Amino acid sequence: MRWIHLSDIHYNPGTQMNRSTNQLRKKLPQYIRDNGIVADEMFITGDFRNATAPCDDEESLVDDTVNFIMEIANSAKIADNSHIHIVPGNHDLTRVDTSPSITKIRNCYDVSEGGFKIDILRQLISRFGFFVKIKNQLNPGDPLWSPELLPLHVYKCYSGYTVLYLNTSLTCGDNKDRGRSHNGAANWDKKYPIIFDRVLMLYWCFRYISTLVIFTSFAVRYWSWTQSWKGTGG
């Protein structure tokens, strides 16, 4: 299987923010075409917009972002939208002044239990309206992510491999929150039995590796540009 991995698109046309990202977006589709890059799947690990940039028309921003994603997919000869896999990042939620409540939730989080009460979970998830609009337009008929983004983490089995989609930006509030997410990890091993052969874990925030040790007994291989590990199962 051949794939393209994108992250931190931060697609906010008309702004001067993220100058290097703007330049990359302009050149990437042509680079893919010029070099004959062809992929079967595309994985996008969050941050579809820059949440700190001013935006008066969120619907147009969603349209522009999805159009750009489709341009990349078409450039790489990806057949249809079902081969585009996405998860949210910390820019894909509404950043209102929720710091006190988020801090309180973090402080009350029981690591040994690894879960949230349902009312708190719904409060946290309700902030991901922008991501919901992206996924609804990109994959309108895909039942993978429910309208409420529950369950929190989902998986889908494909021919020869399984993709595990994680929401690792659940308790984020601003850019300082990278690497200190609280994600209800206790539910992972309960919801995902040992049905995995080849597993791809799709998630935002590459610093959040410590929680993933629960997969060391599975046939799972993790890799990034900074570190890697392999489960004992394969």
Average pLDDT, the chain: 75
**CA angle 73-75-79, nearest 5°?**
50
Integer Cα distance of 127 and 90 in angstroms: 10
Q: How many residues does the chain have?
A: 234
pLDDT value, residue 109:
74
Q: Are 203 and 185 in contact (CB under 8 A)?
A: no
Q: What percent of the chain has pLDDT over 70?
A: 65
Q: What is the pLDDT of residues 182-213, one digit of tens each?
A: 555 555 545 444 444 455 666 665 444 444 44
Task: Give the pLDDT band (50/70/90) at residue 120.
Answer: confident
225 pLDDT above the threshold of 70: no
Q: Nearest-CA neighbor of 158 among 189, 198, 113?
A: 198
- Which pLDDT belongs to residue 196? 44
Q: Please classify residue 203 by burial: count the beta carbons closer than 10 Å to its beta carbon, then call 0-12 exposed, 13-18 middle and 19+ buried.
A: buried
The answer to whether the beta carbons of residues 37 and 4 sit under 8 Å apart is yes
Share of the chain above pLDDT 90, in %: 23
How far apart, in Å, are the Cα atoms of 26 and each of 50, 61, 62, 196?
17, 16, 18, 38
Q: What is the mean pLDDT of residues 162-178?
A: 74
- HSE-up of 103 (CA within 13 Å, CB side)? 6
Nearest CA-CA partner of 192 in 228, 222, 219: 219
Instruction: Residue 185: give the domain boundaries.
Output: 3-230
Q: How many CB atoms lie within 10 A of CB 170?
A: 24
Number of independent structural domains in the chain = 1
What is the structure's pLDDT at 15?
Answer: 64
Please give the residue that has the higher pLDDT: either 128 or 159.
128
pLDDT single digits (tens) 16-73: 556 667 777 788 999 999 999 999 999 998 899 888 887 888 999 999 999 999 999 9
Mean pLDDT of 74-101: 85
**Residue 41, pLDDT score:** 92
pLDDT tens track for 3-19: 898 888 888 766 655 66
The predicted pLDDT at position 136 comes to 92
For range 107-119, the mean pLDDT: 74
231 pLDDT exceeds 50? no
216-218-223-228 Cα dihedral, nearest 10 degrees: 30
Mean pLDDT of 141-147: 77
